[in-house]
Amino acid sequence: DGLSFQDQAGYRLSAEARYDVSDSVQARALVSWQDGYTHDQTDGDRTATALAVPANLPTSGANTARFPGRVSNGDTQFKTLIGEFNLLSTGKGPLQWVLGGFVMDESIPVTLLRDNRNVLDVRQSNSSIITEAKNTSQSVFGQVNYYLTDAIEVLAGARYSWDKQVYTRFAVPGPPITLPFTSQVTSQQLTGKLGVNYHFGDNNMFYLTASKGYKAGGVNLTPNTPDFLPERNFVYEAGLKTELFDRHLRVNGDVFYSDYKDIQLSSLVGGLPVTQNALAGKSWGAELEVTAQFGGFAANAGMGYLNSKFANSACISDTNAPGTDAGCPTNLRFVPKDRVLPFSPEWTVNAGVQYAIPLGSVEVTPRVQWSYIAEQFATPFPSVNTLVPGRSIFDARLTVDMGRKYKLEGFVNNLTNKTYIASQIQNSSSADGGSIYGAPRTFGVRLRVEIGS
């Protein structure tokens, strides 16, 4: 019954510069800046029946539990600076290489207001939480590719990453903390990739790769909640890339297996988001992608299959149905081995078609795109309250190419204005859960300008 909305605004700037150090070495610098703002309001109890705390009672913990009706209002800012520098080979010999460095600096201040005396709109906050997360990430990396023969290519790459999150929280009033407190988590990891490519024909390649990925750990919003650990992922992949009919048809396919350690899962504690670690997961699947280009006509289609499950049994918080299962610590529920991992749709499909129309010195290209995502679950605990139904979405785009330096693009996402559930979250005051709907029909315009020769 609360008035829910989300308003977003922002801009993003990016630039790239290249310089030929020599005939065989090039320097490349990339920088981007993103500034975004989100103002949103949500029905905090996510029901149409919960009552607000009466005016003659204090908004204490006991009364908010008895009268869980509430509405919440939030302001979030995103300020992100990213820079990258590369030295890369440009010669024609059997050895190709790249060395580089990466840095990201991000600030995310958030103000959350909660009104436990009203269920329609925030009129006066009785609980305010002000936070700021400062994230920094730095890494150095390199990769070499070497042709043993004209057909066989081997590659090896490595990246070392340093990540830090500093989190400051201020709650008015408490409990449990009314003074600002700061928590900090740092993590670092060596990741890399090994592979071999077999080239055959004019433009065909079979490849095998083994790689290690990593997602940094961090600080949880809720006080007295443990920090979460980094997530690691080992991926093994075999695939085929082909170009047929004088490069008019491209067919790519692959199969893969992923082994996850310390999976990061999202949940809620006391109505606030929390990230927790599960033990391990495993995924395997296949992907197929087809692209065709004949004159001004172009089309694409893709399909993916995913089987993603917990590799071990685990004990995890379930805020949709709190409790303690046998063999688990207090307030944790049992998740058996081979249960499906959250947000792992079994099937994904997409297709698109476009046609370039020359109009004098301008080329106009209309395009229609379709995508399908099968049903999935938002948590490790399958139920109607965690189900994200499958959906089909159509998008449209019109591109006007005015030459090499200028390109104007208009787009409409969710062309049919379909109402669909994009995600589910769980609620701390009822078992009803909460649906997060996807964006309605959205219009936009992009202008691309290339500077330099």
Burial of 8 (0-12, 13-18, 19+ CB in 10 A): exposed
Q: Does 407 map to a domain?
A: no
Q: Does 189 map to a domain?
A: no
Residue 448 has φ and ψ, to the nearest 5°, of: -115, 130
- DSSP 8-state secondary structure symbol assigned to residue 451: -
Q: Does 352 map to a domain?
A: no
Show the tokens assigned to 63.
């009364």
Q: Are 379 and 416 in contact (CB under 8 A)?
A: no
For the chain, report the end-to-end CA distance as a whole number of angstroms.
Answer: 57
The number of domains in the chain is 1
Helix extents (H) in 305-383: none
CA distance 294 to 274: 50
Q: Does 40 map to a domain?
A: yes
Residue given tokens 């289609």 in the structure block: 301
Q: Does 121 map to a domain?
A: yes
Q: Does 321 map to a domain?
A: no
CA distance 84 to 94: 26
Q: Does 397 map to a domain?
A: no
153 alpha-carbon distance from chain centroid: 32
Q: What is the reported pLDDT for 286?
A: 98
Q: Does 280 map to a domain?
A: no
- DSSP 8-state secondary structure symbol assigned to residue 341: P
Range of the domain at 17: 1-177
b/e 165-192 (16+ beta carbons within 10 angstroms → b): bbbbbbbeeeeeeeeeeeeebebebebb
Q: What is the reported pLDDT for 408?
A: 94
pTM (two decimals): 0.82
Per residue of the chain (453 residues), what is the pLDDT tens digit?
677 787 889 999 999 999 999 999 999 999 999 999 999 887 776 667 778 888 888 887 788 878 888 888 889 999 999 999 999 999 989 999 999 999 999 999 999 888 888 888 888 888 888 889 999 999 999 999 999 999 999 999 999 999 999 988 887 765 555 667 788 999 999 999 999 999 998 889 999 999 999 999 998 877 778 889 999 999 999 999 999 999 999 999 999 999 999 999 887 665 567 888 888 999 999 999 999 999 999 999 999 999 999 999 988 877 666 678 888 888 788 999 999 999 999 999 999 999 999 998 899 999 999 999 999 998 888 888 788 999 999 999 999 998 878 999 999 999 999 999 888 765 433 334 467 788 899 999 998 887 765
H-run or E-run covering 65:
helix 61-66
Neighbours of 51 (CB within 10 A): 12
Pairing of strands 314-316, 25-43: unpaired
CA distance 271 to 38: 20
Q: What is the reported pLDDT for 316?
A: 83
Find the Cα–Cα–Cα–Cα dihedral 253, 256, 262, 266, rounded to 10°.
40
